[in-house]
Amino acid sequence: MVYRWLFFGRKNVRTLRIITFLCQNVGTVRIVLPQVENVRLLDRLSSRKAAVGTLYLTATHVIFVENGSETRKETWVLHSQISSIEKQATTATGCPLLIRCKNFQVIQLVIPQERDCHDVYISLIRLARPVKYEELYCFSFNPKLDKEEREKGWKLVNLSEEYNRMGIPNSYWQISDVNREYGVCDSYPTEVYVPKSATAHIIVGSSKFRSRRRFPALSYYCKDNNASICRSSQPLSGFSARCLEDEQMLQAIRKANPGSDFIYVVDTRPKLNAMANRAAGKGYENEDNYSNIKFQFIGIENIHVMRNSLQKMLEVCEMKSPSMSDFLWGLENSGWLKHIKAIMDAGIFIAKAVAEEGVSVLVHCSDGWDRTAQVCSVASLLLDPHYRTMKGFMVLIEKDWVSFGHKFNHRYGNLDGDPKEISPVIDQFIECVWQLMEQFPCAFEFNERFLIHIQHHIYSCQFGNFLCNSQKERRELKIQERTYSLWAHLWKNRADYLNPLYRPDHRQIWGTLHPQMAPCNFLYKFWSGMYNRFEKGLHPRQSVTDYLMAVKEETQQLEEELAVLGERLANLQKLQLNGNKVKSKQQDRSKELALSASSNSLANTPQEYSNDLKSFPSRSPSQGDEEDSALILTQDNLKSSDPDLSANSDQESGVEDLSCRSPSAGGCLPSEDSGKDSDEAVCLAV
């Protein structure tokens, strides 16, 4: 907090200097036009709220700095966040440029000169589609940590510790070195956990019978009843092929759970898709060939359906003044929530099999790196409270997504590639977590902001965690030596991500979560906090989370203070005198809390509830108008590229300053922290 305060006053000067500096250091990419004046930034919700300013193109960011106003609102967008750029037909006022981002920000600019617009467009097209990993932001990003700290950051999440926590290795499961040097499967990690009875021969044999050699390996183990979740890709069964080793592999998984006489094999694809795969020599397990399996399809659609679904939903989000019907129909037609439900259902099925029936489950889809990752991680999250803590959630993503070869680069288009490979697979998982948080508000240690920031950084390429498509590629690139870990960054700022309702001794956090199933009406809701994240006007104007967090801290502080005072009291002889002081101080404090909450409670401006009002000659804008619009301007700082900004500068809700944590902060203005971002930018340029 103090750190952010330091930059408050000097921000403007700093930013400009940085920008000039950045413009001179654009590296390999030639930026035709590094700076355009008199650009207008439009607001989707209100045509009246267009801002005029200067647009800068730097090596890493697009920056819009508003003219004139005291606050100098800035909008920063990382090039890696840009998903599409659209140049629209020139109008009388200029040439519109529409930039859509992967974190669901939509920026509408109007550039006065068509030629300038074209130059910006051409530069951005190139900047937004890097061809080499080395061009990505994480290789130039430097948060000023020394080597030791960087290494410590990468060690924050440790998977072998995680398997130890699950109780592995034990008498049923062991770590296998069969994939040492990625010899068996190049998209798997080197350390794979398999049943003890599965010999290297069985594993290798089974891997030859599985798509991309992704053999069954352990994802989660429940030490209470020995049931486990394993994952693999589809078998190459075609219409009739069999593989003894693969059958033995499944037997071994079953035997590793002596309490149960069968295992579930869950194919997360729709049956039709699985059957179609048989024609290509792939397919699914035949119950007749495998002894003691129960086979189950769960129809989660493929990445192409999901990509289109998201596209349709985003179109709904972008609509200009939609009616309620437009919105609900659009949302339904996108099918997005239906897909979310399908993923949740699959996770719930598996969690139930493991927790209630004590039966092990083998999960696969086609290649076992998209739907399988979603479903395994949802199930783990339901089963184990550990994954609902902040650290545990990082481990979960590391385990089921990063280590098992989810193709981050292809799915999230970090490098210029096949657009058909792009799909919001992990976005869907993150949304599932949010949907669960809505149903179980006390069960998660982290809050919505944590999820949003993780989503942001999956696309930002600011940290090395999600680069490439597999562990093998990451090792070859020496990611850990050349970039920083997101987990360390999030962990450092963990105070921002805490859920105030989470209490380790609360009943709701124990054991398995049992989400409601039926009726599913309104169980799954549209997540405007994510998909309309940058349109602050749509969201609740006051943040309960932040308020409660502040209250919690305040209480803690008071209690500590009280303890100290209590001690002192006991030691002092003039009890009466001291007692009065404490009493009055206590009252002051509670007054302060109330005051700061109310004085900043909120200010907002009305939307366009009517167009008729414009035609009516009204009086000159009142004083109040100006005040309010000034406040609104500052909140637009949120539209900056670093999500941390939005975490801390929501001036509309105005309660953030409570989190300044200094007892005297009650009446102060919220801290302004673009400085932080600028700071990062400086480092990168150095």
Partner 1 sequence: MEFSELIKTATVESVLLSCAGQPAVKGTLCITSHHLLLSSCPGGDGQPSAVELWLLIRNVDAVEKRLVLSHRPVPPSVPSSMGVIPRCHPGTAEPPLPPLPRGPRQWALTSSSPPCPRVQNVGWYQPPRSSGSPRDNRLAGSSGTITLRCKDLKVLQLEIPGMEECLNIASSIEALSSVDSVMMMYPFFHRPQSLRLEEGWPLLPVEQYFQQLALQTTQWRLSDVNRDFAVCPTYPPAVIVPAAVSEETLRRAARFRQGGRFPVLSYYHSRNGTVMLRSGQPLTGPNRKRCAEDEMLLGSVLDDGERGFIIDTRSAQAAKQARMTGGGTEPKSSYPQWKRLHRPLERGRPLQESFIKLVEACNDASLGMDRWLGRLESCRWLSHVKAALSTACLAAQCLDREESSVLVHGAEGTDTTLLVTALAQLILEPGCRTLKGFQGLLEREWIQAGHPFHLRCAHSAYSHARLKQEAPLFLLFLDCVWQLSRQFPFSLEFSEGLLLTLFDNAYASDYGTFLCNNEKERCLCKVKESTHSLWAWLDQPEERKKYLNPLYSPNPLVIWPSVEPQSIQLWQGLFFRWIRSSQYLDEAWAEIWRLVEGSNTAVKESTESRLSRSLSDPTAPTENER
- The window from 33-41, 271-279, 364-372, 577-585 that contacts partner 1 (CB under 8 A) reads 577-585
Query: Which residues from 45-64 bind partner 1, rule CB under 8 A?
Result: 45
CB-based contact 44:535 (threshold 8 Å): yes
Residue 272 interacting with partner 1 (CB under 8 A): no
Residue 9 interacting with partner 1 (CB under 8 A): no
**Long-range contacts, stretch 543-549, CB < 8 angstroms, 24+ apart:** 543/650, 543/653, 543/655, 543/656, 545/447, 545/448, 545/449, 545/499, 545/500, 546/650, 546/653, 546/655, 546/656, 546/658, 546/659, 547/597, 547/655, 547/658, 548/500, 548/501, 549/495, 549/498, 549/500, 549/659
Q: How far is the CB of 453 from partner 1 (least distance, A)?
A: 21
Residue 152 interacting with partner 1 (CB under 8 A): no
Residue 508 interacting with partner 1 (CB under 8 A): yes
Give the residue from 637, 633, 647, 631 showing the smallest Cα distance to 674.
637
Q: How far is the CB of 335 from partner 1 (least distance, A)?
A: 7
Residue 662 interacting with partner 1 (CB under 8 A): no
- The window from 182-190, 202-210, 343-351, 362-370 that contacts partner 1 (CB under 8 A) reads 343-351
- Measure the CA–CA gap between 14 and 140, rounded to whole angstroms: 20
Query: Which residues from 386-445 bind partner 1, rule CB under 8 A?
Result: 439-443
Residue 562 interacting with partner 1 (CB under 8 A): yes
Q: How far is the CB of 563 from partner 1 (least distance, A)?
A: 9
Q: How far is the CB of 352 from partner 1 (least distance, A)?
A: 6
Nearer to partner 1, 420 or 506 (CB): 506
Number of residues that this document lists for the chain: 686
x-or-dash pattern for partner 1, window 526-545, by CB under 8 A? x-x---x----xxxxxx-x-
Strands 35-42, 217-221: pairing is unpaired
Answer for which of 1, 106, 175, 593 binds partner 1 (CB under 8 A) is 593
Q: What is residue 356's DSSP assignment?
A: I
Nearer to partner 1, 167 or 441 (CB): 441
Pair of tokens at residue 562 = 């009280």
Answer for which of 224, 261, 625, 626 binds partner 1 (CB under 8 A) is 625
Residue 574 interacting with partner 1 (CB under 8 A): no
Residue 323 interacting with partner 1 (CB under 8 A): yes
Give the residue from 305, 547, 307 showing the smallest Cα distance to 447.
547
Answer for which of 197, 289, 302, 601 binds partner 1 (CB under 8 A) is 601
Residue 464 interacting with partner 1 (CB under 8 A): no
Q: How far is the CB of 70 from partner 1 (least distance, A)?
A: 21
Query: Which residues from 282-321 bind partner 1, rule CB under 8 A?
Result: 298, 317, 321
Residue 348 interacting with partner 1 (CB under 8 A): yes
Sheet containing strand 263-267, strands side by side: 217-221, 228-232, 360-364, 263-267, 293-297
Phi and psi at residue 95, to the nearest 5°: -110, 115
CB-based contact 575:529 (threshold 8 Å): no
Binding-site residues: 302-303, 365-371
Residues with active-site annotation: 365
CB-based contact 477:486 (threshold 8 Å): no
Residue 569 interacting with partner 1 (CB under 8 A): yes
Q: Which residues 6+ apart lie within 8 Å of 473 measured at CB?
A: 409, 467
Phi-psi label, residue 104: left if phi above 0, alpha if psi -120 to 50, beta otherwise: left
